[in-house]
Structure 1
Amino acid sequence: MSATAKMIVDKDFIIGEVDKRIYGSFIEHLGRAVYGGIYEPDHPLSDEQGFRTDVLELVRSLQTPIIRYPGGNFVSGYDWKDGIGPKESRKKRLELAWRTVEPNQVGLNDFADWCKKAGADIMWAVNLGTQGPEDARSIVEYSNHPGGTYWSDLRAHHGYKEPHAIKTWCLGNEMDGPWQIGHKTAEEYGRIACETAKVMKWVDPSIELVACGSSSRGMVTFPDWEATVLDHTYPHVDYISLHTYYGNKQNDTATFLARSLQMDDFIRSVIATCDYVKAKKRSKKTMMLSFDEWNVWYHSNEADAKIEPWQIAPPQLEDIYNHEDALLVGCMLISLLKHADRVKMACMAQLVNVIAPIMTQTGGKAWKQTIYYPYLHASVFGRGKALVPLIQSPKYDTKEMTDVPYLEAVAVHNEEQSEVTVFAVNRDTDNALPLQVDLRSFGSCRLIEHIVLEHDDLKAVNTADEPDRVKPNNNGNASVADCIVSAMLSKASWNVIRLKVQSCD
């Protein structure tokens, strides 16, 4: 038996209020995310607009508050005007980022309708690859201006008299990457992002803007990119973005499950860079972070290399996730919560079929991947105030890392519901982990439930024929005595321990 892991949580030691938008997601015109994913007019379960109602049901269950769209790499060559107006007159285009044909049957207005059905807001990314300030101000006018101008009246002519009121906008995508259409240096991007931000906010001062940060911590320009971009844009933007993906190509599970520690370090480095620019500019504004691409991504790499170009919506980036992937996703969600004071938005990339928690068959079933469950639990139960986790845990070393704690955990206090939820991952793949959580500052607590996602096979996956092979149970063994929670966390498990606060001294 492993040594006991201990965690102390105090209701007054608050990291920050959890912005619900950290449970956002992402849909790009890539692979079958749109066509064959959310939109499939010929499917027996599709509604009058061609949207799959079975997919909508799964998305609504996640309570996804915001969805980034339309890309991704796609956006740097995209003309949003191709996706508005009558569908029969929309043009098919060569899509260079993923080398497919884009039929433009789903565009801005269509996606706005879908988001209303899904209960989500839009995070729209503007094209700063082949376009610039003029195009960006036009789409803000089309989307948000009440009427009486060319673009707002055109929206009304297209059947949308009321503005879409899109609040959150990304200034391009991964502009530091040489793979990006219109790739720019930090100076070039900083200048165009600044000028674009100005005109967008002149059209609608209520909007929030996200500047492109580095595509990953591994970019040779990181973090100089952030420092230079923010030097240009700091007064005009509200967030800077972070992107990261992890894989287990070497089949080294111990290292793989520790990757969230690198995510923590990435976040801390970006925060430090933001605060340096704040000090340099003598600014009173604190820059917040939008971690608007994160997930596990590696399973589909070989298949993607064999795809024939210039198809419409071929299967791309269709990672089939296993149990260990769900554990790392759980750890990454905990990392986001541990930085809730500065990470105010985040988007699991992506939502349907493309590196996604939801999978579909064209013309067939929809089902939940393993990673659906930690995402679901965090989104539904992780609302409130993230609390500082004081943790003592046994540790292990890997080929790449040392002193990795077996326990990864955080707690969230929902005062409105009088609930505390502890999210915990046991990284030990061989042994159960005894856990004690000290909640004495809350007075008296009782256990609501202890949800566990566990499986004997780390490589177990869900499929259309076996959609419930990996799914959570309510058989967790947590108990509470004198506001001390005791539990035995199963080996390689994701745990959600929910508690009702009955009194507070």
Structure 2
Amino acid sequence: MPSAHLTVDPNSAVGAIQRRLFGGFVEHLGRHVYDGIYEPGHPSADADGFRTDVIELVKELGVSTIRYPGGNFVSGFRWEDSVGPVAERPRRLDLAWHSTETNEVGLHEFSSWLEKVGSDLMMAVNLGTRGTLEALDLLEYSNVPAGSALAQRRIDNGRTEPFGVQVWCLGNEMDGPWQLGHRNADDYGKLAARTAKGMRQLDPSIELVVCGSSGASMPTFGEWERVVLTHAYDDVDMISCHAYYQEHDGDLDSFLASAVDMDGFIEKVVATADHVKAVRGSDKQINISFDEWNVWYLDRYENVDKVEGIGNWPIAPRLLEDVYSVVDAVVFGNLMISLLKHSDRVASASLAQLVNVIAPIMTEPGGPAWRQTTFFPFAITSRLAQGEALQLKLDVPTHDTKRYGAVPLVDAVATHDAEDGSSAVFLVNRSSTESIDVTVDVSALGDVQVRESHTLNDDDVYAKNTLDAPTRVAPRPNETARVSDGTLTVTLPPVSWTALALS
């Protein structure tokens, strides 16, 4: 059996863990909003039409900030459609997902839902088919307390207090040819800078996210970030990263190493941002908003799910409803480890998405809601990862993969909260065949014991939770985890994710 050794030292901090790292993403796409979070006829629906079973699951997930309303959807969105009397709101054709948007759930309704789940709003503005003026109007409507026409319109629409949106995204994936209003880096950078300057004139307290490349595999990647930041560096706080992963052609070993790609992606964007900083002679640091990340079997959508036809614009079609397996959850948990390992520069992250659409939570109209396998790593990590992320000393064997070459069989990160003395260690075993014995030197943490242990694995790595078997997969206590004389020992089964809480 292979073995690995880690050393945890609270004096080796990477950076403070921002609660925004555990953000989510709700887009008007498929059954995410309608039949997902909102289903007035459902037995669990509250007076506002929101499913309370979903609300409880979102609360359990521990989502901090939620990006809204898109995504590709935002590049054709007219925010004015989503406010005012519901009966008077227009139905619009959403070109991004070839659907009809009823606008039954809009800004006010979604903000009410956020209050129910205890999350903050992260708003995206349309810089695809619209521009600076419309972004300023939405900011005024949302954040100005009173005394202007748009603030008064919000008040007349039933919201006396402003929404107080703190974080704003300047468009979405503007380098993508699929995006309405797609632009080159020079044109988008100029528009983003103009819009950011105007928004800061109106509300200097806000934080702004400029669009990075829509993926590290894009031909625009790297040069896009450099050009956009050259225009907007002084006006924004973060640049976005988006990444999705899937198993290709049965290559399980490469899929299990997906976090290697995320690590490299983050480090390249940081290097580009710091290059622009150096060229400009700036003292300001641009951080990362990793505001779309997940496992997503995009090939399935390309081949199966698309809605097409000039006369076919359904309401809330079933789109992108990936059903996740144990191995998907292990990769997912490893991606969370990557985000934590880069907490010095990743200031915000948004799991894409939350309900039904490539989501940790699934629902059936009129029926139950249940947890997908990916629910568990997110909920447990969000709850246990507190304080600071720690740089680990790792002595770990490697194995070869087709896509990434030699990669460590074990990936891990630790966190430590100096205020209450609690710590946590998160680990994955990327081996598809062998268990791994791990020893962790925790002597620098003092006299600690294992308070909680959770391991997600299964003899069938493709086991899933479904409507017919909603509890087939769940994490179990890892009975091998124990501390003796300053050393934590634990055995990691093949294809597994593990979280250990120490106190």
Q: State the TM-score bracket (shorter-chain normalisation).
A: over 0.9
Aligned-partner Cα distance in 2 for 1:106–1:417: 41
Pair 1:367 & 2:370 matched: yes
Is the contact between residue 190 and residue 229 of structure 1 (CA under 8 Å) also seen in structure 2? yes
SS in structure 1 of the partner of residue 270 of structure 2 = helix
Q: Is the 8 A contact 1:173 1:212 kept in 2?
A: yes
**Once the 2 structures are TM-superposed, how far is the Cα of residue 415 of structure 1 from its aligned partner?**
2.1
8 Å Cα contact 1:56-1:118 kept in structure 2: yes
Work out whether 1:304 is the aligned partner of 2:331: no
Alignment of 1:137-176 (within 5 A): 137-176=136-175
Alpha-carbon distance in 1 for matches of 2:402, 2:260: 15
C-alpha distance in 2 between matches for 1:476 and 1:26: 35
Cα separation, 2, equivalents of 1:307 and 1:421? 48
CA distance in 2, matches of 1:429, 1:221: 35
Distance 2:72 2:195 in 1: 19
How far apart are 1:465 and its partner, in Å? 2.2
Match of 2:94 in 1: 95
TM-score, normalised via structure 2 length: 0.98
Report what 1:260 is aligned to.
259
User: Given the alignment, which residue of 337, 343, 351 partners 2:346?
Assistant: 343
2:445 corresponds to:
442
Structure 2 CA distance, aligned partners of 1:401 and 1:209? 34
Separation (CA, whole Å) in 1 of partners of 2:58 and 2:170: 26
Q: Distance in 2 between matches of 1:324 and 1:496?
A: 16
Q: Indicate whether 1:200 and 2:193 are aligned.
A: no
Q: Distance in 2 between matches of 1:276 and 1:178?
A: 27
- Shifted more, 472-481 versus 159-168: the winner is 472-481
Task: Report SS of the residue matched to 2:30.
Answer: coil
In the alignment, which residue of structure 1 is the partner of 2:67? 68
Counterpart AA for 1:322: S
- Over 3 Å counting, the alpha-carbon distance change for 1:307 and 1:396 in structure 2 is farther
Look up the SS of the partner of 1:467 in the other structure.
Answer: coil
Show structure 1 runs of 5+ residues with no match.
501-505
Separation of aligned partners in 2, 1:61 and 1:154: 35
Partner of residue 503, structure 1: none
C-alpha distance after superposition, 1:451-485 (max 9, x if no partner): 11111111100012211111011133111012210
Task: Please give the alpha-carbon distance, in whole angstroms, between the structure 2 residues aligned to 1:288 and 1:278.
Answer: 12
Q: Measure, in 2, the Cα distance between the counterparts of 1:298 and 1:401.
A: 19
Q: Secondary structure at the match of 1:202?
A: helix
Rounded to whole Å, the distance in 2 between the matches of 1:343 and 1:193 is 21
Unaligned runs of 5+ in 2: none
User: In 1, distance between residues paired with 2:403 and 2:348?
Assistant: 30
Counterpart of 1:148 in 2: which secondary structure?
A: coil
> Which residue is 1:456 aligned to?
459
Partner residue, 1:387? 390
Aligned counterparts of 2:415 and 2:445: Cα–Cα separation in 1? 12
Displacement of 1:358 in angstroms is 0.3
Tell me how far 1:493 sits from its aligned partner: 1.0
Alpha-carbon separation, structure 2, partners of 1:473 and 1:487? 14
The separation in 2 between residues aligned to 1:116 and 1:282, in whole angstroms, is 42
| CA drift at 1:282 | 0.8
RMSD: 1.0
Q: For residue 15 of structure 2, what is the amino acid of its counterpart?
A: G
**Matching residue of 2:414:** 411
Contact 1:451 1:476 in 2 (8 A): no
Asked if 1:16 is matched to 2:19, the reply is no
For each residue in 1:116-146, what CA deviation from the matched residue of structure 2 results, as whole angstroms up to 9, or x when unmatched? 1110001100000011010000100000001
Displacement after TM superposition at 1:306 (Å):
6.0
Judge which range, 329-338 or 438-447, deviates more. Answer: 438-447
1:33-72 per-residue CA deviation (whole Å, 9 max, x = no partner) reads 1001011111111111111100000000112110000000
Letter in structure 1 aligned against 2:425: V
3-state SS of paired residue (2:351)? strand
8 A contact 1:384–1:413 mirrored in 2 = yes
Once the two structures are TM-superposed, the CA of residue 249 in structure 1 deviates from its matched residue by: 3.2
- d(CA) in 2 for partners of 1:487, 1:294: 29
Q: CA deviation at 1:400?
A: 2.1
Task: Tell me what 2:216 maps to.
Answer: 217
Partner Cα separation in structure 2 for residue 233 and residue 481 of structure 1: 53
* Contact residue 213 and residue 242 of structure 1 kept, 8 A: yes
Partner of 1:230: 229
Question: Structure 2 vs 1, CA of residues 335 and 374 (structure 1 numbering), >3 Å: closer, same or farther?
Answer: same
Distance of 1:475 and 1:266 partners within structure 2: 32
Q: d(CA) in 2 for partners of 1:378 and 1:330?
A: 8
Preserved contact between residue 84 and residue 107 of structure 1 (Cα < 8 Å): yes
Question: What letter matches 1:43 in structure 2?
Answer: H
In the alignment, does 2:243 pair up with 1:244? yes
Equivalences, count: 499
- Report whether the alignment pairs 1:320 with 2:319: no
Q: Could you give the per-residue CA deviations for residues 73-102 of structure 1, whole angstroms, max 9, x where no partner exists?
A: 000000010010111001001110111111
**Is the Cα contact below 8 Å between 1:452 and 1:476 reproduced in 2?**
no
Amino acid at match of 1:433: I
How far is the alpha carbon of 1:307 from its aligned partner? 6.4
Q: SS in structure 2 opposite 1:12? A: coil
Q: 2:5 aligns to what SS in structure 1?
A: strand
Aligned counterparts of 2:402 and 2:288: Cα–Cα separation in 1: 31
| Aligned amino acid, residue 393 of structure 2 | L
Shift of residue 356, structure 1, vs aligned partner: 0.4
Amino acid at match of 1:352: V
Do 2:306 and 2:319's aligned partners in 1 also have CA atoms closer than 8 Å? no
Q: Aligned equivalents of 1:56 and 1:251: distance in 2? A: 36
**TM (normalized to structure 1)?**
0.97
The more displaced of 394-403 and 224-233 is 394-403
Distance, in Å, in 1 between the alignment partners of 2:49 and 2:294 is: 28
Q: Per-residue CA shift, 1:3-44, capped at 9, x if unaligned?
A: x10111111110000001011010000000100101111111
Matched to 1:416, the amino acid is E
Shift of 1:416: 2.6
